[in-house]
Amino acid sequence: MSQSLVAMRSHRLCVVAILAAALAIAGCGSSSTNSSGGSIGKTTNTAGVKEATQWVNAHKSAPTSIGTFPVLPKTPPKGLTVAFLDCGVAGCTNNANGIRAASKLLGWKFDDVVSGETPEGIANAWNQIVTTKPTVVLAAGLTDKLFPHQLAAYKKEGGIYVALSTPDKPGPTGPNAVVLGPPNYASNAEATAKLAISQHGTSTNTLSFYTTDIPIQLVEHTAFVAAYKKLCPTCKLTSVPTLTTDVGSSLPNQVVTSVQRNPGTNVVAMGFGDMTEGVPEALSAASLSDVSVVAPFADSGNLQHVKSGTSESETIAEPDFVSTWGAMYVATRLVEGLAVPASISTDLLLPLQVITKQNVQPDVNATYIGDQNYVAQFKRLWKLP
């Protein structure tokens, strides 16, 4: 796998194939459902194309801020412990690296708990959490429906659970806080719709692939369809459900087959960056290089595609480390008994950048950072020297 199977957030962040219940929400496999037609709002085709193009052009520069976070009243205490549930793929490694670095700065002990991607592995990891009792637990891409009893036992002992990239809501039986909830995924979905429509205007004809076994992906896909139809009511759109297990394996062939079955397709939109793995190459081998590939939550694979001049000529990136450090910031507020404003928790929107061949970073294997000064900004928030 390439850099992040989430991230989802970042973003993406840790992608975990989870609930059979989630599978039933949107169906499985690779059969497609036509979603074209229908207007939301009063946006005309030309106005929507103009809006999309203006947004893309305005977001080609790197962000210069991590967003608005209140400074803590005092420096967080040292010597606490934080555990991260690591799904084992590259995206989770990215998350772990960010949390490890933030922990070191705060003087906290970091524990990387490998959970894997199965419900059994996740449950076992939470059993370990209940035994070791870290001060804070962070995880990405999970739903608390998988470990309700372990979470209840952990929180009963005063433990703090911060969840990233999940539709779960904070509450007595859920996470203490959620970072990068549905609004952030909706923001990325809208950005992806704008990128697609900016490339082909009113003639845009899109196949939208999304995974049905990641709960937050269903939220994101719904937002993508709404934004796409609002921007260009007459542009064609076909939704294609798939599974995380298809990413990097059967998905490229599924894409080629779907494009061949839908003549006139000129865009393939993916729910997150890792889903493009092997897709531009498969399209090229099938003489379909004129089909654009777009995705949010860009990782190293997406950056390489852009740099190499494939049909994925543009992609959307958000700063992974800002998301994980942001989760650590939320944890420090909870440790101090401070409330977490919704603008930082579920409603936090990370800054986005449209990556092109002209602005792609020299080392495409390095993590996308965004604002290079993010460490100094978090140090100021924590009142660290």
303-324: pLDDT as tens digits: 999 999 999 999 999 998 898 9
Domains in the chain, ordered, with CATH? Answer: 19-61+184-318 (3.40.50.2300)
Identify any residues that bridge with 242 across adjacent strands, giving them in sequence order: 211
Q: How confident is the model at residue 347 (pLDDT cuts 50, 70, 90)?
A: confident
What mean pLDDT comes out for the span 353-375?
94
Distances (CA, A) of 126 to 15, 65, 86, 93, 161: 17, 35, 11, 18, 11
Identify any residues that bridge with 210 across adjacent strands, giving them in sequence order: 241
> Residues 137, 154: contact at Cβ < 8 Å?
yes
Q: Are strands 6-8 and 353-355 parallel, antiparallel or unpaired?
A: unpaired
pLDDT tens digit sequence for 222-258: 999 999 999 999 999 999 999 988 999 999 999 999 9
What are the phi and psi torsion angles at 368 (to 5°)? Answer: -70, 125
| pLDDT at res. 44 | 66
pLDDT tens digit sequence for 118-152: 889 999 999 999 999 999 999 988 889 999 999 99
| pLDDT at res. 267 | 98
Q: Which residues, in sequence order, are CB contacts of 91 under 8 Å at separation 6+?
A: 1, 3, 4, 5, 6, 7, 8, 10, 12, 13, 14, 15, 274, 299
Using left for φ > 0, alpha for ψ between -120 and 50, and beta otherwise, residue 253 falls in alpha
Average pLDDT, the chain: 88
CA–chain centroid gap for 88, Å, is 16
| pLDDT at res. 1 | 39
Question: Which amino acid belongs to residue 49?
Answer: V
Question: Which amino acid belongs to residue 180?
Answer: L
Q: Which residues, in sequence order, are CB contacts of 363 under 8 Å at separation 6+?
A: none
pLDDT tens digit sequence for 40-50: 344 568 999 99
